[in-house]
Amino acid sequence: MMQPSLPSSSVAPSLRDRLIVALDVTSPADAQALVKRLGDSVSFYKIGMELAYGGGLDFARELIDAGKKVFLDLKLHDIPNTVTKAVAQIEKFGADFLTVHAYPQTLAAARLGAPQGSRLKILGVSVLTSYDDADLAAAGYGCGVAELVARRAVQTRDAGIDGLVLSAAEAAAVRARLGPELILVTPGIRPQGVDTGDQKRVATPALAIAAGADHLVVGRPVTQAEDPVRAAEAILAEIAALPGLGQG
């Protein structure tokens, strides 16, 4: 069977930086214990709302000072003035990624808060991986997931935003349409044999990278594994085995 080619963005992350481990815990102490246990096997961490609201923003500074990369998954969405000022505050942290919801007004406002050239890369959240077509219909949308993600990808590009969060199921189509213009980040990653939990649009690490993802967000399959280091290294080995990727 022919292996798929590996389209990617103009950003060329090292192999280890392609894996972003989600610190979906309730306290900085729990997060610190996980980071210590994972050691050098992980270089990039995501802090979401649960940890952020429990002291995680101060912990983000600790990670940055320790040489780790940080993704603040705060999913900002408010009136433009508030979004711009919030992003400007976060830009001072030295974090690498920040999410906002991919609505045109919000995207434009976020760009004003972190101008081009900033270390902070803004990612538009397209459609949450826990949603499917039925969920969008229930919320009042008149289109399915694939169409909405495609629309938001173009809006993200047109707003000058750095990247998009989407599932691997839509990554190939977005990459084919927009080429290397956007950093593509895919949550909902589940290695073979791992329960999907509350996710609906999932993929294995290899399939997501082959579809065009630059970074994979993985939480429970690593953080709740009996041996988190082994779980992280297994994901990296799966990615490294893809032809044309290299060891980066």
Give the pLDDT band (50/70/90) at residue 244: low
**Beta carbons of 44 and 11 less than 8 angstroms apart:** no
Which residues on neighbouring strands pair with residue 185, listed in sequence order? 165, 215
**Beta carbons of 74 and 99 less than 8 angstroms apart:** yes
**Beta carbons of 212 and 243 less than 8 angstroms apart:** no
75 given a catalytic annotation = yes
Domains of the chain, residue spans:
16-240
Q: In the predicted model, what is the mean pLDDT of residues 103-108?
A: 98
CA distance 54 to 115: 29
Q: Per the residue annotation, which of 46, 68, 75, 121 is the catalytic one?
A: 75
CATH architecture assignment, domain 16-240: Alpha-Beta Barrel (3.20)
What SS3 class is residue 103?
coil
Q: Alpha helix locations (H) across 69-131?
A: 80-91, 104-113
Phi/psi-derived region of residue 10, left when phi > 0, alpha when psi is between -120 and 50, beta in every other case: alpha
Give the pLDDT band (50/70/90) at residue 12: very low
Q: What is the pTM of this model?
A: 0.89
CA distance 200 to 162: 26
pLDDT tens-digit readout, 149-185? 999 999 999 999 999 999 999 999 999 999 998 999 9
The region of weakest confidence among 1-15, 51-65, 91-105, 193-207 is: 1-15
